[in-house]
Amino acid sequence: MALRGEYWWVRLRPDGLDWARCMSGEGTPRQEGRSGDWSELPAPPGARLMLCVPGERVRVHRVRLPGGTRRRQRAILPYALEEQLLRDPSEYHFVPLPRPKSQPETPVAVVERELMDHWLDGLEEHGWRPRVLVPEFLAIAPPPPGTWFLDAAESPFLLRLPSGGGGAALPGTLVGQPPGSLLLALEQARVAPATLRVRVANEEQRARVGEWTTWLESREMDLEIQEDGRSRPAWLARQEQPAAGCNLLTGPYASREDPRVWGRRLAPVAGLALGLLVVAGIQWVLEGQRIRAEHARLEAAIEETYREAFPDARNLVDPRYQMEQALEQLRQREEDPGESDGFLERISRLASRLAENEEDTEVESLAFERDELTLEVSMGDYEALERLERRLGENGSVEVDRAEMEDGRVSASLRLREED
């Protein structure tokens, strides 16, 4: 709950206000004073306030709560404390205080809603934002375990118990024996303290509290006296900021700037956003896997196509690029006969000669090496072979390497060489 930066500590009194302009991390207020009412408070609009209210108007009860969520426990509080309240539970505001795990009972601060409304009335009209509201005894830093702290410098006395114990405002006057309200608190304590630490304002008060020694020793309790001449508001303003669980601004009184309130309000939206992010992440992973699988399939298809088009290729690094380069080379050869080996042109002319032949001619294979074409054909008879030889000879020399009859057809091998 620690307020960061500048804040205004304000203590409410029946006849006015004590105030101090504080800076987090600094032990001494930068300004302090008194005001007759809220209109005289010098805090600027937008200032953050820490309110310290009269401790005698806030009671701390102890109750054993069943397990469950914090919301469920809050709902049970009015019924658990009903017998200890003077009025209908709906007229009270309940705030569970921090409880150590070793303690079975939870301290609960109880204050009338009418008082809460009165303390906060008019603050927003001045542009002030109350962030913390604590009774005077909870504004005191908790003592170490086994020690009770009593501020006896002014009346009513302020009793602060160790962390998880809360405290109380005790009526009474300072005399030679502990006040009855303190004796009653000691009798009701489940575990009596080993040390009672008392703050006094002067030597006279120290002497009166010193007379408690005999009474406390009979109950095996040590007495420590701290003399501090500062007034109660000046002393309280210099205390460390109370723990978050001591703030009475909870439930309907919660500060709109309280990060816990914002956290509860934003939790559904944050959960929805987180769910959307998870779904988007899963979709992104699945889409990535689909794209990788499609890419691998396309790469395999390109490689297969390349090997079909260029079966003599050995080093396959980038099939797409290598295919583009090979096709470009073939295109350049076709467009620039001076730099080509004439293969495409010769195939084209050979195809036209073969197309002119109306006889039963079958081309079985075609091979090209250097500047020669080797053509394997099958024909009906030797006369048809002679006629094909004459037609092909119009473009260059033709040699018949082999001609033999197989299964009633002439199988021949022709070598074609174009003349320059």
Q: Tell me: pLDDT of 191 over 80.
A: yes
User: Which pLDDT score, from 0 to 100, does residue 384 have?
Assistant: 82
The CA distances from residue 81 to 107, 250, 275, in Å, are 11, 18, 41
Q: How far apart are CA 337 and CA 245, in angstroms?
A: 93
189 against 419, higher pLDDT: 189
Distance separating alpha carbons of residues 360 and 409, to the nearest angstrom:
10
- The whole-number pLDDT of residue 147 equals 94
The half-sphere exposure of 301 on its side-chain side, counting CA atoms within 13 A, is 6
**Average confidence (pLDDT) over 230-240:** 93
Sequence letter at residue 57:
R
Across 23-37, 155-169, 337-351, 368-382, least confident range: 337-351
Q: What is the reported pLDDT for 339? A: 45
State the pTM of this model: 0.61
What are the pLDDT digits (tens) for 64-121?
877 767 777 778 888 888 888 888 988 999 998 888 777 888 889 999 999 999 999 8
Neighbouring residues of 114: CB distance < 8 A, sequence distance ≥ 6: 91
The alpha carbon torsion through 342, 348, 351, 355 (nearest 10 deg) reads -150
Distance CA 140, CA 314 (A): 86
Question: Mean pLDDT lowest for which of 45-59, 186-200, 397-411?
Answer: 397-411
Rounded mean pLDDT of 154-173? 90
Return the higher-pLDDT residue of 355 and 403. Answer: 403
Instruction: For residue 259, name the pLDDT band (cuts at 50, 70, 90).
Output: low
Question: Beta-carbon neighbour count of residue 256 at 10 Å?
Answer: 10
Residues above pLDDT 70, as percent of the chain: 89
Q: What is the mean pLDDT of residues 265-289?
A: 84
C-alpha 319/C-alpha 307 separation (Å) is 9
Least confident of 237-241, 287-291, 350-354: 350-354
pLDDT class of 261 with cuts at 50, 70, 90: very low
Q: Report pLDDT for 209.
A: 94
Instruction: Tell me the average pLDDT across 311-340.
Output: 67
* Nearest residue to 110 via CA among 55, 188, 184, 165: 55
Distance CA 268, CA 273 (A): 9
- The domains located in the chain, with CATH, are 1-136+248-257 (3.30.420.380), 142-238 (3.30.420), 264-340 (no CATH), 347-418 (3.30.1360.100)
Residue 394's identity, in one-letter code, is E
Mean pLDDT, residues 217-237: 93
Strand order across the 167-170 sheet: 167-170, 157-160, 147-151, 195-200, 222-227
User: Among 97-111, 296-310, 334-348, 384-398, where is mean pLDDT lowest?
Assistant: 334-348
Q: Tell me the per-residue pLDDT of 367-407, one tens digit each, with 9 for 90 and over.
A: 877 677 888 888 888 888 888 888 877 777 888 888 888 88
**Chain length of the chain:** 420
The predicted pLDDT at position 262 comes to 47
Q: Count of CB atoms within 10 A of residue 186's CB?
A: 16
The C-alpha atoms of residue 81 and residue 129 are separated, in whole angstroms, by: 31
Between residues 240 and 362, the one the model is more confident about: 240
- The pLDDT of residue 420: 58
* For range 209-220, the mean pLDDT: 90
pLDDT of residue 419: 66
Rounded to whole angstroms, the Cα distance separating 3 from 249 reads 14
Q: How confident is the model at residue 337 (pLDDT cuts 50, 70, 90)?
A: low
Per-residue DSSP letter, 40: G
